[in-house]
Structure 1
Amino acid sequence: MGKVSVRAPRREGRMAARLGAMCVLLASSTAIGLGFHELGFTDSSIISLYILSTLLTATVTSGRMYTLLSSALSVVLYNFYFVVPRFSFESLDTSYLVTFAIMFVAAIVASELTNHIARNAREARRTAYRTSVLLETNQLLQQADGPESIARIALGQLLKLLNGPVAFYPAEGDGLGSPLVGDGVDEAMPASIAENARVNALRALRSSKLARDAASAGAAPASAPPATADALEIVAIPMGDGLFLPVRTHDEVFGVVGIRAAERDIDSFELSIARSIIGECALELAREREAREREEAAVLARNEQLRANLLRSLGHDLRTPLTAISGAAAILRDDSDRLAPEQRRALLDDVYHDSLWLIDMVENLLTITHFDEGTIKLTLNSELIDDIFEAAVSHLANQAGGHRIVIEPAEEILLVRIDASLIIQVLTNLVGNAIKYTPAGSAIQLSARREGAFVRVTVADDGPGVADDDKPHVFDRFYSGAKAERPADAQRSFGLGLALCRSIVEAHGGAIEVHDNVPHGAVFSFTLPAEEVAIHG
């Protein structure tokens, strides 16, 4: 927080302006007085003009010096222009000395009264302004978003109040982070000054932490009222040419505000308002931290609930296929010689299909875990949608049973920009659901068409469909369609397949939905970004 080099020229400019105003008023009074003299007005009228000019000088300037100078010059000018002999400083009539004395005293008394009124008015305006800054601070802090926004609002309000350099040093462990500076402060200050300010701020931080630790040794009772900005003891610590105020509540220190004090004196009222602003800043930082901690705790609680639901579903849903696999394996091991080939084949088919279901479930679970952790990375390539259809259907060839899976050819070549393995997983889940929840002999149709910048992919079946009550929830995690005529996800399901489909489609910038097929059945459709077909001549 370096010194502002233009302050001295500004002060000289203000002095010149005030002297100029005083001279203009005296010149005007003299000119009008000469007119009065020519018209034969009495001397008291001319004296009143000079007293008026002195009063006006006291009003438009600040400081006793200008008023005293105006009073003295008024006597001199009156003596020179209006006392016989005129245009000289010789007075033949001693009675004029009394007139001069009375005139000088009257001008001084009147100007002092005017100065007093002007000072009171200026102080009232300053008080009103400072109070409005404090009220505005409270309103702005309530709209802040994040610790940095809170700190910058406080800095801006301190800058408006003090009209001088301010900086905020955030606490980071036992040290301080990079400072935030108020608007209008030269950030390119010399390194020695910046380092000196940082050292002083660090000393103030440590002093505040010592005071906090000492206060916490005698902690307030649990019934103590909540802290307010006025109740916080924020002590300004003078160090070098600055004041350093800790941004703290009773149990936490968030940083230090440095105020450059060498430019002008900061009065007690300004310091009180500054402390109130910093106290409001500290309380808002504490509230923001508590809100963030509550939000993190709520997220952890939701994650724990999801984890508990997942474990319960895993324990319940894995029991059936594993029991079937182990039972079939035991029969094949112990009674294989007594089984007919058809029975042995049926048991092997059961083991195979149950193991496929377990593989699909584990694949879905691993993929959705990667999405939750944010570690999934899409490998995007241009792919023909018909090739994706063929790959997905080939994965389900052994599960189709008596179902007819039909790929409807597109009217044009459709290229999409996708991660092929993930989209194949989406189609496998959707077609697999259709196989499991439609009767044997049902038709499942895959189709695609261009829609602007996207390609819409559709998986339709002619089974019992999805109940209207379940449609808004079929893509929610752990939702298994309790009220549906058919569950929304796998036959032994804990509601991850369709949730994973939505995550994959949205990661590609698309959307997925479900609606009824006519006359009966369900249609799941989703969009993928289209890729233009390059035609080479």
Structure 2
Amino acid sequence: MTNDWQDSKERKRWGRIGIRSLGGFPGPWPIAVTVMAIAAALAVAFVLYPITGIENVDLVFLAPIIAIAVRYGFWPSLLACLLSALAYNFFFIAPVYAFAVTDKASIATVPFFLLVAVITSHLAARARAAALAAESRAETTEALYAFSRKIAGIVSLDDLLLATGQQIGSMLRLEVVILLPDDDGRLEVKAAYPPADRVGGTDTDAVRMAWDGSGSIERGTEALLTAQHLFLPLRTSHGPVGAIGVSRAGTALTPDKERLLAALADQAAVAIERIRLTTEMDAARLAAETERLRSALLSSLSHDLKTPLASITGAATSLRQYGELYDAAAREELAATIQGEGERLSRFVANLLDMTRLKAGGIVLKREPVDLSEAVGAALQRIQGLLGEHRVVVNLPADLPMLDLDVVLFEQVLVNLLDNAAKYSPPGSWIAISAAGDRRKVELTVSDEGPGIPAEELERVFEMFHRVNKGDRQRAGTGLGLSICRGFVEVLGGTIRAAIRTDRSGAVFTITFPEAVFTVMPREDAAE
């Protein structure tokens, strides 16, 4: 039963194609051109008749018949056939200037001439229709390809819906409305061409049926016809993603336009699903990253921040409850422990706050000319407690240019680098600070004599909460210091990189500032 119904549809469709291939009925201009063409052929026939005889006159009329069929289709060419047959009979077959035929040999000439002319014109008209159809299909295919390329580069759902509405509206010359489900599953107008914000009440049920796929028109395409719109569901292999409606404008769509609309709807549905899947993947990736950072932060809070608090609490409790049992040196050591662990805790909290500012984009720079030697000296002063067991050497040339930096952020970068060097270097080892510069850049390096950094970890050391040498050899810290260094340096306009020392074990961190960060101090006499 289904196959018979489909075969019947195919026969009807091909029947419509055969009728359309004959072309529409001619207007005034094709009729006028046809008459003038036959008149011109008649004039040529009068010229050739005395020379070639009647045997070749009929060929003269076939040329304009074929030309009219190719140019204007079947009906104008049929008119040309009739006019040619009448002219051939009236002017060239005896008795001339009359439509009667008295010569028995010529009785079959006119009917056969008319039959040949009709068949020729019909074949030419079919060839013209096939050429026009092929041209139309090529244009449609090109438009679909251009549309697919256009929507392939769109990443915003609103832009995609707008482009889809404009494409369908311009190609089909119809009003278009696109509906997508909201969070509650109700379809809402998300885009329209021309702009509209709702669908008529009489179409609401049809939209829902197109969305659910619970109704269809006779084509079996799950489309629904209403008094105002033709609705199609936007479906992919994973299910419906929306619905699209086009204004019927009082007339039914042709099968070619219906197929074009279905192709555009399929492309739009796939693009909508692609954007939604991309959005869901981004959300899942963000959630996973947030969970990873949350776990790392909780680990830091539970271990790295709890440790100095325990030390502070223990030392303070000992001083308060058993202070009379300790001599002056012991009390001084406990007080130093409280101060050191408090400063360590302060640095941890400061790093967390700095990273929060970096991620929120809330850093406002206060640039001013900075001398590297002064900035290094201030950083060493701030962290001298941690560097007490290390030997520090500073080598800064006197001719280094002044840099336009935020001195607070730059000092924090130096403090974090020195803290990292002290943390991973054994007591008594050297920590070196050096600089070099020319007219194009200034490089400041901080090197230590620790175990160094594995080659595969050189970039990862700047990631949040990442620390090298995990396990029993893991050092105390939040894993934020180097990440903050990179963030601050990049905000200041420079770059920072990590490397392995080649002369001995240890790590080298190099900060590079380009010429754009250089500044020139005005001379005092110029200011006066």
- Contact 1:85–1:92 (CA under 8 A) maintained in structure 2: yes
Give the distance between the partners of 1:484 and 1:424, measured in 2 at CA: 31
**Offset of 1:349 from its aligned partner?**
0.6
Residue 122 of structure 2, aligned match among 88, 99, 112? 112
Q: Give the match's secondary structure for 1:335.
A: helix
Q: Give the match's secondary structure for 1:289.
A: helix
Tell me: CA distance 1:243–1:440, structure 2 relative to 1, closer, same or farther (3 Å). same
Are 1:504 and 2:488 counterparts? yes
Are 1:328 and 2:312 counterparts? no
Tell me: CA distance 1:468–1:126, structure 2 relative to 1, closer, same or farther (3 Å). closer
Residue 48 of structure 1, aligned match among 59, 82, 91? 59
Residue 524 of structure 1 aligns with an amino acid whose one-letter code is F
Give the distance between the partners of 2:426 and 2:213, measured in 1 at CA: 75
**Offset of 1:292 from its aligned partner?**
1.6
Q: Give the match's secondary structure for 1:525.
A: strand
Residue 464 of structure 2 aligns with an amino acid whose one-letter code is R
Give the distance between the partners of 1:142 and 1:199, measured in 2 at CA: 26
Q: Which residue of 2 aligns with 1:456?
A: 443
Residue 377 of structure 1 aligns with an amino acid whose one-letter code is I
Deviations 1:169-195 (A, max 9, x none): 56585643564x6xxxxxxxxxxxx5x
- Contact 1:25–1:53 (CA under 8 A) maintained in structure 2: yes
Deviations 1:183-221 (A, max 9, x none): xxxxxxxxxxx5xx62675669844553267669x9xxx
Give the distance between the partners of 1:413 and 1:535, measured in 2 at CA: 16
Are 1:414 and 2:414 counterparts? no
Q: Which residue of 1 aligns with 2:274?
A: 287
Residue 482 of structure 2 aligns with an amino acid whose one-letter code is L
Q: Which residue of 1 aligns with 2:351?
A: 364
Q: Give the match's secondary structure for 1:474.
A: helix
Q: Which residue of 2 aligns with 1:233?
A: 222
Give the distance between the partners of 1:484 and 1:528, measured in 2 at CA: 36
Q: Which residue of 2 aligns with 1:523?
A: 508
Q: Give the match's secondary structure for 1:298.
A: helix
User: % of aligned pairs identical?
Assistant: 25
**Offset of 1:79 from its aligned partner?**
6.0
**Offset of 1:535 from its aligned partner?**
4.3
Residue 196 of structure 2 aligns with an amino acid whose one-letter code is R
Residue 367 of structure 2 aligns with an amino acid whose one-letter code is N
Q: Which residue of 1 aligns with 2:51?
A: 39
Q: Give the match's secondary structure for 2:509.
A: strand
Give the distance between the partners of 2:456 and 2:134, measured in 1 at CA: 67
Q: Give the match's secondary structure for 1:353.
A: helix
Q: Which residue of 1 aligns with 2:70?
A: 59
Instruction: Name whichever of 416-425 and 400-409 sits farther off.
Output: 400-409
Residue 425 of structure 2, aligned match among 420, 433, 438? 438
Give the distance between the partners of 2:156 and 2:451, measured in 1 at CA: 51
Deviations 1:373-418 (A, max 9, x none): x343331413314243233223213333143444433443533343
Give the distance between the partners of 1:458 and 1:251, measured in 2 at CA: 59
Are 1:492 and 2:476 counterparts? yes
Deviations 1:214-246 (A, max 9, x none): 669x9xxxxxxxxxxx9973435552xx75656
Tell me: CA distance 1:527–1:36, structure 2 relative to 1, closer, same or farther (3 Å). same
- Contact 1:336–1:344 (CA under 8 A) maintained in structure 2: yes
Tell me: CA distance 1:444–1:142, structure 2 relative to 1, closer, same or farther (3 Å). same
Give the distance between the partners of 2:223 and 2:132, measured in 1 at CA: 28
Give the distance between the partners of 1:279 and 1:205, measured in 2 at CA: 22
Gaps in structure 2 of 5+ consecutive residues: 1-25
Query: Which structure 2 residues correspond to residues 194-209 of structure 1 after superposition, within 5 A?
Result: 194=194, 198=196, 201=199, 206-207=204-205, 209=207
Residue 511 of structure 1 aligns with an amino acid whose one-letter code is T
Residue 476 of structure 2 aligns with an amino acid whose one-letter code is R
Are 1:397 and 2:384 counterparts? yes
**Offset of 1:448 from its aligned partner?**
3.5
Q: Which residue of 1 aligns with 2:208?
A: 210
Gaps in structure 1 of 5+ consecutive residues: 1-13, 182-193, 219-229
Give the TM-score normalised by the residue count of structure 2. 0.76
Higher relative contact order (CA 8 A, sep 6+): 1
Query: Which structure 2 residues correspond to residues 117-266 of structure 1 after superposition, within 5 A?
Result: 117-120=127-130, 122-123=132-133, 126=136, 130=140, 144-148=154-158, 150-151=160-161, 154=164, 158=168, 162=172, 164=173, 167=176, 169=178, 171=180, 173=182, 175-177=188-190, 179=192, 194=194, 198=196, 201=199, 206-207=204-205, 209-211=207-209, 233-235=222-224, 237=226, 239=228, 247=234, 254=242, 256=244, 258=246, 261=249, 266=253
**Offset of 1:253 from its aligned partner?**
5.2
Give the distance between the partners of 2:31 and 2:401, measured in 1 at CA: 84
- Contact 1:150–1:285 (CA under 8 A) maintained in structure 2: yes
Q: Give the match's secondary structure for 2:476.
A: coil
Tell me: CA distance 1:535–1:417, structure 2 relative to 1, closer, same or farther (3 Å). closer
Give the distance between the partners of 2:99 and 2:518, measured in 1 at CA: 105
Query: Which structure 2 residues correspond to residues 470-481 of structure 1 after superposition, within 5 A?
Result: 470-481=457-468
Q: Give the match's secondary structure for 2:196.
A: helix
Residue 370 of structure 2 aligns with an amino acid whose one-letter code is L
**Offset of 1:279 from its aligned partner?**
2.7
Give the distance between the partners of 1:31 and 1:213, measured in 2 at CA: 66
- Contact 1:470–1:483 (CA under 8 A) maintained in structure 2: no
Residue 29 of structure 1 aligns with an amino acid whose one-letter code is A
Q: Give the match's secondary structure for 2:379.
A: helix
Are 1:427 and 2:414 counterparts? yes
Residue 46 of structure 2 aligns with an amino acid whose one-letter code is L
Q: Which residue of 1 aligns with 2:498?
A: 514
Deviations 1:445-492 (A, max 9, x none): 3344446654322223345544445434322333221179986xxx41
Are 1:377 and 2:363 counterparts? yes
Residue 189 of structure 2 aligns with an amino acid whose one-letter code is L
- Contact 2:370–2:405 (CA under 8 A) maintained in structure 1: no
Give the distance between the partners of 2:424 and 2:488, measured in 1 at CA: 23
**Offset of 1:316 from its aligned partner?**
2.1
- Contact 1:169–1:201 (CA under 8 A) maintained in structure 2: no
Residue 69 of structure 1 aligns with an amino acid whose one-letter code is L
Are 1:307 and 2:294 counterparts? yes
- Contact 1:467–1:483 (CA under 8 A) maintained in structure 2: no
Tell me: CA distance 1:202–1:308, structure 2 relative to 1, closer, same or farther (3 Å). farther
Give the distance between the partners of 1:448 and 1:202, measured in 2 at CA: 74
RMSD of aligned alpha carbons: 4.1
**Offset of 1:367 from its aligned partner?**
1.6
Give the distance between the partners of 2:483 and 2:220, measured in 1 at CA: 51
Residue 481 of structure 2 aligns with an amino acid whose one-letter code is G
- Contact 1:170–1:254 (CA under 8 A) maintained in structure 2: yes
Deviations 1:24-57 (A, max 9, x none): 7535533542342131322x42123213421331
**Offset of 1:427 from its aligned partner?**
1.0
Give the distance between the partners of 1:90 and 1:21, measured in 2 at CA: 25
Tell me: CA distance 1:203–1:41, structure 2 relative to 1, closer, same or farther (3 Å). farther
- Contact 2:230–2:248 (CA under 8 A) maintained in structure 1: yes
Tell me: CA distance 1:284–1:384, structure 2 relative to 1, closer, same or farther (3 Å). same
- Contact 2:165–2:191 (CA under 8 A) maintained in structure 1: no
Tell me: CA distance 1:138–1:371, structure 2 relative to 1, closer, same or farther (3 Å). same
Tell me: CA distance 1:143–1:214, structure 2 relative to 1, closer, same or farther (3 Å). closer
